[in-house]
Structure 1
Amino acid sequence: MQAAAQTSGTHPFRANDPRLAPIAEKVLAGQRLDFQDGLTLYGTSDVLAVGWLANSVRERLHGDITYFNVNRHINPTNVCVAACKLCAFGRKKGDPAGYTMALEEAWETAASGYSEAVTEFHIVGGLHPDLPLEYFTDLVRGLKQRFPKVHIKAFTMVEVAFLARRAKLTIEETLVKLRECGVDSMPGGGAEIFSARVRSIICDHKIDGSEWLETARLAHKMGFRSNATMLYGHIENNEDRVDHLLKLREVQDETGGFQTFIPLAFHPENTPLDHLPVTTGLTDIRQIAVSRLLLDNFAHIKAYWQMLTPKIAQIALRFGADDLDGTVIEEKIYHDAGATTPQGMTRKELCRLITEAGRVPVERDTLYHPVTRTEDSFVVAV
């Protein structure tokens, strides 16, 4: 029996859970949700009603547009001093499965997947105990020289903090060096879950949640734009999830530097937490929807098809997501953790996914400027 009904213009909102009625009032009036609202959204069984609300916000912001880009991932090393239980990618120094690209190899890797279509290189890797900051600045500088039109999105907040400590520099000094060598923006990885209780179990070798947030705050104030993530579906609870989202929202209120929020479903395979079950489709689409509703100051919510699968990512476009990420050539980190999705997708395939979901595909660059294609090159509309 429907226990709640609310209207927005000519479109009625109906829910089987009466707790959703006051939340719908807020959402439809453009008012901010609070911590308890977040818990209710995670706890209700009426996921379709939550999705309806998230979709209303998504369409208010973006209509039917769904963004994607043409990008290539470069993971220069998997050698890492951390031993995070959530990770299947990292290897200890000396491990036969460990690798570190020589600079020429990294540049050749970029070139092997490069065409005039690529607008972004996405660079993340392990926390290598021996590689100096200069390795990374030289890597970026070489990419900029070879591919001057390609935007370089590189180094998570965790990597920046680690590089700063190794180089005995402040975060600000390290960010200056990264900007000078050609880093254009930063990815959002390493945020995991900000809860100290959870981080002490799944990623105790990384910077803590407050350090991640402070590094992002400093990067934004220096002019970098970045993404933000949350890893869900492991040992966190609903309170941890809401806390994570609201802490991101607080920093965004202050800096406005986050471009996109990306919920990342945990893949337990090949990790020390492989006894945990994988997330269900219902959990995945709920996470997309709750993120869209709580993060009212984030322009974009991404359904990362590599982790969700293309099928769930399509559904997510009706549950609050307005971005599918990109072609993601040769992604390693999540595939080492058991992801069975393809390691890349063509522009044509992405457009088909979006169109079949009833949305309008729009190619973007990293900063969400529309990209117009000619036969052999692209033009970014700034």
Structure 2
Amino acid sequence: MNPADLGQALAGGAQLDRAAALQLLTETDLLSLGKLADVIRRRKHPDNRVTFVVDRNVNYSNVCESKCKFCAFYRNEDDQDAYLLSYEEIFAKVQELVEHGGTQLLMQGGLHPTLKIDWFEELFRQLHERFPQVQIHSLSPAEVTHIARLSGLSMADCLRRLQQAGLASVPGGGAEVLVDDVRQEISPNKIGWKQWAAVMEEAHRLGMRTTATMMFGSREQPADIVEHLFRVREIQERTGGFTAFIPWTFQPDNTELGGAQASGVEYLKVLALSRIVLDNVDNIQASWVTQGARMAQVALFFGANDMGGTMLEENVVAAAGCSFRMSQAEIVELVRGAGFIPARRTTEYQLLQEY
């Protein structure tokens, strides 16, 4: 099916299948794909707004047993530069977030060999008491699964206890590509895709909203990207719990995996395909953290309607040599310069302020 016919079919409410999605990714030119995605974005977001959240990414530790080949951030427990933040250090970082008007705490670390659930429960309780205006949007499915195993709990019980302590939503980190052959090559010690999905579905069952991500450009094939998108779409059909999808590119510097970085064209094609396939996920985020400000601005015409977070702090991607920074004012100007209305939001996409 050519792009024009496909566009008409999608406008009429048709859904892509895997074969058509793969054809789009591998055979359709960038601009045709972008136009299809832009039509869908405009239909889903006719208000012409582009949203963002004021947040901070606090990496509570860099000690990790997973040792993913694509990661430049992790350390062994006995490494000289291994660390674990104290509660007081974390509180100071969140206080600074609050002083900047922040509403979201994105907190992730490694799969630490000794941190059990009581460490996280006490931390989340104190964070919730001290900073009730900040949503604890933290941990990843791999971390939840690891904490449960260390603590002798089922994943469901672990997640429920974390929620009762103050965890409000779960970011989609650790998804990489939701195909186990790829995961086995790039992160053999991490949970498989079905475990990732199980944590997300349990979080949704408990009433927590989550995001979903994809890190591409490492060892996957185009069919794996398509499979990942359809697996996210199928979870969303069952639960409706994903608020947003964030595709971003593997950053090879300082990693065991190495290799070349995906091009801007590849990024935009995958972003556009994400918007087309994930017709049941409301929001697609542009990854300025990995792509930089100008590519993120271009992404707003290839399906993205959200700029993610201001990220007062980010360490994981920066460890791979990628250290783009943007202030809230810069995001506002970037969005406005592209012809959209900048709007600050909460984690769950409630509007707080237009600019």
TM-score range (shorter-chain normalised) is over 0.9
Deviation string, structure 1 residues 210-254 (Cα, Å, up to 9, x no partner): 111111111111111000001101110110000000011001000
Q: Distance in 1 between matches of 2:180 and 2:350?
A: 37
Q: Distance in 2 between matches of 1:70 and 1:136?
A: 23
Tell me the equivalent position of 2:282. Answer: 299
Residue correspondences, number = 354
Q: Helix, strand or coil: the match of 1:114?
A: helix
5+ residue gaps, structure 1: 1-17, 375-382
Match of 2:309 among 321, 326, 333: 326
**Which of the pair has more CA radius of gyration?**
1
Match of 1:79 among 40, 50, 63: 63
Partner residue of 1:272?
256
1:43-54 aligned within 5 A:
43-54=26-37
Q: Select the structure with the greater relative contact order (CA < 8 A; seq sep ≥ 6).
A: 2
Displacement, 1:116? 5.5
Choose from 311, 332, 349 the match for 2:330: 349
- CA distance in structure 1 between the aligned counterparts of 2:251 and 2:110, rounded to whole angstroms: 18
| Structure 1 equivalent of residue 352 of structure 2 | 371
Q: Pairwise mapping of residues 17-36 of structure 1 onto structure 2 (< 5 A)?
A: 19-36=2-19
Q: Which amino acid aligns with 2:125?
A: R
Contact persistence 1:20–1:40 (CA under 8 A): no
Give the counterpart of 1:309 among 262, 273, 292: 292
Determine whether 1:165 maps to 2:149. Answer: yes
Runs (4+) off by over 3 Å: none
Secondary structure in structure 2 of the residue aligned to 1:333: coil
Which moves more between the two structures, 38-47 or 308-317? 38-47
More deviation, 139-148/284-293: 139-148
1:37-116 alignment, distance < 5 Å = 37-63=20-46, 64-115=48-99
Q: Distance in 2 between matches of 1:87 and 1:257?
A: 28
Q: Report how far residue 135 of structure 1 moved.
A: 1.2
What secondary structure, in the 3-state scheme, does the structure 2 residue paired with 1:189 have? coil
Distance in 1 (alpha carbons) for counterparts of 2:93 and 2:78? 23
1:69–1:365: 8 Å Cα contact kept in structure 2?
yes
Find the residue that maps to 1:363 and give its secondary structure. Answer: strand
So what's the TM-score if we normalise by structure 1? 0.90
The verdict on how the C-alpha distance between 1:373 and 1:39 changes in structure 2, with shifts beyond 3 A counting, is: closer
Any idea what the Cα deviations from partners look like across 1:230-279, whole Å, max 9, x if unmatched? 110111011000000001100100000001000011000010122x1111
Which among 193, 213, 229 is matched to residue 177 of structure 2? 193
The corresponding residue for 1:336 is 319
- Percent identity, please: 36
The answer to whether the 8 Å contact 2:168/2:208 transfers is yes
AA aligned opposite 1:24: G
8 Å contact kept, 2:341–2:354: no
RMSD over aligned CA atoms reads 1.4
Q: What is the distance in 2 between the residues matched to 1:195 and 1:183?
A: 28
SS state of the match for residue 67, structure 1? strand
Structure 2 unaligned blocks of 5 or more: none
